[in-house]
């Protein structure tokens, strides 16, 4: 296991303050606020620790309310909304400086047999044939060295490989609002299913709005030509998967308007199983010239 992955796992290992109340801390990010994927992942850890082990996460719905302060701890307060025969529902509120910054509702279910079908996996090149994230980032001479290093530090726990140029790599000309990324953690994980859900939740917020930027030829926050932030985030976990094995994150944007952009995505395992569906809306604003 890489040192960066162990550091991330330590970050997600929340401190229990008392019954259903947990405390987490933050790490550096590309922007001067808490990374949204970190808050969502920590909230899922808090929720999952109050749920029986035989019930696995099947969905989450979250709202980002305020920017998180990376210099202050985050308190996660879990509300046990329902414990049914098949489903368990939890609500988590993340609090900083006495105010909620994030809310999450998550549902867990016991295993059941039932109808089974899925959308086919889209075509994509083998991840082994693609440049690593570091190689790709360092190949863009227009990116400041400081920006590159911040990106690499923020993503060091994950092997993340773009199929095509990301928005900040080749921008200026609008492209099809579709982006593909292969990802896996930089090291093996324990077999706990919740851990793999939590890591996928963490990674899911890294690139989902890329397709919005592609449609308008914008490079994004890495080059300063847009201001962005997550507003809400939803995930459905369809089938078991491992976050330490290659997963294809196929993302597209059907709409952008009113200073907001919508991203939709599916995550497939390398052998073609549809594992996760993701939807996120975010603020995507073009800074006004002074």
What positions carry a catalytic annotation? 205, 230, 280
As a whole number of angstroms, the distance between CA 134 and CA 142 comes to: 15
* Residues 60, 49: Cα–Cα separation, whole Å: 15
Collapse the DSSP code of 284 into the 3-class scheme (helix H, G, I; strand E, B; otherwise coil) and give the result. strand
Output phi, psi for 128, to 5 deg: -65, -20
Query: What's the rounded Cα separation, in Å, for the pair 199 and 42?
Result: 10
Count of other CB atoms within 10 angstroms of residue 277: 16
Render the burial of 170-205: b for 16+ CB within 10 Å, e for the rest: ebeeebebbbbbbbbbbbebeeebbbbbbbbbbbbb
Helices vs strands, H then E, count in the chain: 6, 12
E-strand ranges in the chain read 15-18, 21-24, 55-64, 74-83, 87-96, 99-110, 158-162, 178-185, 227-237, 247-257, 260-269, 274-285
| Cα atoms in the 13 Å half-sphere on the side-chain side of 271 | 5
């Amino acid at each position: 296991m890489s040192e960066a992955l162990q550091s991330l796992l330590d970050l997600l290992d929340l401190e229990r303050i008392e019954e259903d109340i947990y405390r987490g801390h933050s790490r550096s990010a590309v922007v001067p606020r808490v990374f949204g994927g970190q808050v969502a992942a920590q909230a899922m850890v808090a929720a999952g620790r109050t749920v029986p082990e035989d019930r696995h996460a099947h969905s989450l719905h979250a709202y980002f309310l305020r920017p998180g302060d990376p210099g202050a701890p985050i308190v996660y307060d879990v509300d046990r909304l329902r414990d049914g025969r098949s489903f368990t529902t939890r609500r988590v509120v993340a609090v900083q400086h006495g105010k909620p910054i994030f809310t999450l509702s998550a549902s867990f279910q016991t295993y059941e047999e039932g109808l089974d079908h899925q959308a086919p996996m889209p075509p994509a090149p083998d991840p082994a044939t693609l440049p690593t994230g570091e190689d790709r980032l360092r190949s863009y001479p227009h990116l400041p060295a400081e920006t590159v290093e911040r990106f690499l530090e923020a993503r060091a726990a994950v092997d993340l490989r773009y199929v095509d140029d990301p928005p900040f790599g080749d921008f200026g000309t609008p492209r099809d609002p579709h982006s593909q990324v292969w990802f896996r953690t930089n090291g093996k994980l324990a077999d706990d299913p919740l851990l793999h859900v939590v890591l996928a939740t963490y990674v899911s917020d890294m690139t989902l709005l890329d397709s919005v930027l592609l449609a308008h030829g914008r490079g994004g926050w890495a080059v300063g030509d847009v201001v962005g932030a997550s507003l809400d985030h939803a995930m459905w976990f369809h089938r078991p998967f491992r976050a330490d094995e290659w997963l294809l994150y196929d993302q597209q944007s059907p709409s952008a308007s009113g200073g907001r952009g919508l991203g939709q995505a599916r995550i497939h395992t390398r052998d073609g199983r549809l594992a996760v569906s993701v939807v996120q809306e975010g603020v995507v604003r073009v800074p006004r010239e002074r």
